[in-house]
A and B are shown apart, each in its own frame.
Chain A
Amino acid sequence: MDVSQYLEIFLDETGEHLESLNTQILNLEQNPEDEATINEIFRAAHSLKGMAGTMGFKRMQNLTHDMENVFTEVRAGNMKVTSSLVDTLFQTLDALEEYTTNIRETSDEGTNDNQRLIDQLNEFLNSKGEPVPEKKEEKAGEDAGSKAPEGEAGAASSDEKFRNVPIGETEQSVLTAAIEEGKKIYGLTVYVDENCLLKAARAFLVYKAVEEKAEIILSNPTAQDIEDENFELDFSLIVISEAPLEEILEGARAVSEITKVVGAEFTAEDLEGISKEGEEKEAEEESAKKDAPKEEKKESSQETAAPAAVAAVPAQADHDKGTKNAPAKTGKSVVNRTIRVDIEKLDVLMNLVSELIIAKNSLVSATNNDGATGSEQIDYLESVTTSLHESVMKVRMVPIESVVSKFPRMIRDLQKKLGKKLELYMTGEETELDRTVVDEIGDPLMHLLRNSADHGIESAEVRAQRGKPEVGSIYLDAYQEGNTVIIEVRDDGNGIDVDAVKKKAIERGVVTPEQADSMAEKDVINLLFNAGFSTAKEITDVSGRGVGLDVVKSKIESLSGEVSVDSKYGEGSTWTIRLPLTLAIIQALMVVVGGEKYAISLASIQTIEDVAPEDIRLVENKEVMTLRGSVIPIIRLDKELDTVSTKKPDENLVVAIARKGEKLAGLVVDELIGQQEIVIKSLGKYINKTTIISGATVLGDGEIALIIDTNALI
């Protein structure tokens, strides 16, 4: 059988396990005694090993195997979690990550054995204290080995469902022949974890593991049913093999999300007993009762609890009911039922919803022209399309957690590299964003965090002088605000030295000394986002290669977001990233300028004002107006859009007050049409981004309206 179809699942899950290991190991360093964490780590490491093994990635399996050994010792309390151990473990995770990347790119794990890491891990294993390590290990192994079957044996017999598998005549003859040849017949029953999402894949992996050692003669349910996920939580196999039973069981247990595998050897007599179809049930019933005191107890308690009438029902029926109900109960874990969907399929769905909205808009405009026929139906259609759009959007939303969870580890690494004491505080990891945005946001955030750690947080001496705590704090806060998601990276470090920035800017020829003198502090700080600008006094490999902030800026802008910075010298800086919640469909304010229709994102509009021409004043040759006490600049859209207003100069102005961060500006338009849900389309590759137009949308009547980017205007 070919495993390539499971490669994707493998990669996804490996990624998840590695992520969880990263977080948990970090956690472990702080709470070395925390049992839950250790167990979690052990589980993840074990799953990793099993998965790598079944997929045939031997090097990866070897490395995880040694890592797992270390965790076994830690779990048994034989080994202390030290900082150097954690370092090695992190390096191991990095190596595993590298394998995963190789596999993703080439379907092959590569040729790096990572022998050094394996040696290192073994060194830890061997040197961890007085007791001779091998013995301990052996003991631990024994423990696990002897415990497992023991623990299972108690509950097992009633779990040996393979005894109930009906064996047909052909199989019977095959099995008998095998016994005559001196081979062994085993029955296996495999139990899949009830939370398992991909039962079929798991079953397949078990199949594969078993097939390495044995020949599968019979499967119940059938292989086809299993492939179609047409089974509850267990399935039984009858196999012929020359290998000992334990080996086969081991192989099957190595598959992750398999809770338990029970098995036993069939003798020739057993086979005969089973083959007698008529007696089969009775015999099995008997043997079940004999072998399964627990099951009986359960049954009897059920009987006593049941009303008399039910108790009178023959025992066999009751038993059947009992066994039927049990898996059904555990099998239905209604919570957290998820499904992996290819993002492209969602894109298609999203496009269809967009089309639907355009179609709806055209209906709206058609009926507006004809008078009010069918307006009720249209209202209904409108509400349906809006909710449909919302649900599709929600499907595409994922928490940013998957991206930010790697940062604590990064800060820990930086701490060592930079020789500074740092602490990262994160909030709002559950904040959700469109999947495409989440995929892209990682790098910019990483840049900002590194920047804070490297340039922001001062050295210990300076911090002491300034009376700050020794440990520098970096905060990552994410939250939703209306239609935008805000991610803030904050530190209590040095802040931005405006004079240093000015000096650098002049040195680099970004501005002239005269320009620099007249620049407001804020504008100076914004120079940091210029390409090739880095104020780090020395270049480190952490940050300061002169790329960074400009890359951050362009990346965020390509996601239709914006980034700004607020800083107080000596106290710290705050970098704020604002991202739109949705990318493809927005609520827009439709306006007319010079007879042409334009759309402005409603999210950036604060209010609409009616302003008399005489209320517009000139300050330094620029038009401004006063709005509730503050003076804000006026932007005449007809000029910006290279057209001519259709309004007379003495008429009142319609001014849309737009906001960008904390800045406000009044956009003068000729006429308001109203609010509309629009689908954003790009202008195509040929028309280079004209700065103030961010895209276009198709209106209900088929005409195109351009979307004004207020951020570029203000």
Chain B
Amino acid sequence: MEEVRITNADLIVDEGEKVQYIVIKLGTEQFGIDIKYIDNIIRMQSITRVPHAAPYIKGVINVRGEVIPALNLRLKMNLEEVEDTKATRIIILKLEQYGLIGFIVDEVKEVVTLSEIQIEKVSQDGTQNSDDNQQFVFGVGKIDNQLISLLDMNAVCSEK
């Protein structure tokens, strides 16, 4: 919706399939989410708590009259919870299995286009990445000397 910068990634001419990713930040780490899942990105808004729900489910929000669950991506990824800032955003994803789900992230940075050769697949045994979250990461994208962990959102959602 707002302040999503398009980088000049389109200038990179490369082989392989190109996919656009939204780059978000949790602390210092950057994560990429396939743009095909993105329904909407909104500013932080009031969240209604749902009693007895898992801790990472912060509650439900009202987006254009629809009631949508809001998850804290930090908690979901076993990171520490932080105070909301001006940059905090809720990314609304549309997943076939679960419908609309909102994810609270620290910041939404930009949209990048990655072609297949820019992505290093992460093997399942996790030799490349030792932290807990590697199960949610299906690959690491490299662009402008930055590393972006690409999230498998269905895996993020399915593991509870």
Contact = CB atoms under 8 A, between A and B. Distances in A.
Interface in B45-84: 46, 48-53, 57, 60-62, 65-69, 71
Contacts of B68: 684
A686 B48 contact: no
B46 A696 contact: no
A652 B61 CA distance: 33
Given A684-B100, A687-B50, A687-B53, A704 B69 contact: no
B53 A682 contact: no
A692 B100 CA distance: 22
A185 to B, nearest CB: 63
Range for the number of chain A residues in contact with chain B: 20 to 34
Contacts of A684: 60, 67-69, 98-101
A686 B49 CA distance: 15
Chain B CB within 10 A, most for which of A683, A686, A706: A686
A642 interface: yes
Interface string B136-160: 0000000000000000000001000
Given A696-B67, A698-B62, A690 B48 contact: no
Given A702-B62, A704-B62, A687 B51 contact: no
Contacts of A703: 46, 48, 62
Contacts of B71: 686
Interface string A617-651: 00000000000000000000000111100000000
A698 B46 CA distance: 12
Interface string A695-714: 01010001111100000000
A550 to B, nearest CB: 24
Interface residues of B, number: 23
B50 A686 contact: no
A358 B65 contact: yes
Nearest to B71: A686
Interface string A663-701: 000000000000000000111111100111100101000
Q: Is the interface of A mostly helix, strand, loop or mixed?
A: loop
A705 B67 CA distance: 10
A691 B50 CA distance: 11
Given A682-B67, A684-B69, A686-B69, A705 B98 contact: no
A439 B157 CA distance: 33
B65 to A, nearest CB: 6
B51 A355 contact: no
B52 A698 contact: no
Given A642-B51, A642-B52, A705-B48, A687 B65 contact: no
Contact of A683 (B65, B69, B157): B69
Contacts of B157: 686
Contacts of A358: 65
Given A702-B62, A703-B62, A704-B62, A683 B48 contact: no
A686 B65 contact: no
A497 interface: no
Interface in B11-57: 46, 48-53, 57
A385 to B, nearest CB: 16
A572 B98 CA distance: 45
A355 B51 CA distance: 26
Contact of A687 (B60, B62, B66): B60
A596 interface: yes
Contacts of A681: 66-67
A119 B52 CA distance: 65
Nearest to A691: B52
Given A355-B65, A696-B67, A687 B48 contact: no
Contacts of A685: 97-99
A682 B62 CA distance: 12
A683 B100 CA distance: 11
A696 B61 CA distance: 10
Contact of B48 (A355, A643, A692, A704): A704
B101 A690 contact: no
Contacts of B101: 684, 686
A705 B49 CA distance: 9
B1 to A, nearest CB: 17
B91 to A, nearest CB: 14
B67 A692 contact: no
B65 A692 contact: no
B103 to A, nearest CB: 11
Contacts of B69: 683-684, 686-687
A670 to B, nearest CB: 15
B92 to A, nearest CB: 11
Nearest to B65: A698
A690 B53 CA distance: 7
B98 A686 contact: yes
Contact of B52 (A686, A690, A696, A705): A690
Contact of B67 (A641, A642, A683): A683
Nearest to A696: B67
Interface string A539-572: 0000000000000000000000000000000000
B67 A596 contact: no
A713 to B, nearest CB: 12
Contact of B57 (A682, A687, A691, A698): A687
A262 B54 CA distance: 75
Contacts of A698: 62, 65, 67
Nearest to A680: B67
Contacts of B52: 642, 690-692
Interface of B: 46, 48-53, 57, 60-62, 65-69, 71, 97-101, 157
Given A642-B52, A698-B62, A704-B48, 10 more contacts: A596-B49, A642-B51, A684-B98, A685-B98, A686-B98, A686-B101, A687-B50, A687-B60, A693-B50, A696-B67
The 5 closest A-B pairs by CB, nearest first: A704-B48, A681-B67, A642-B51, A686-B98, A641-B51
13 contacts: A596-B49, A640-B51, A641-B51, A684-B67, A684-B100, A686-B57, A687-B57, A690-B50, A690-B51, A693-B50, A702-B62, A704-B60, A704-B67
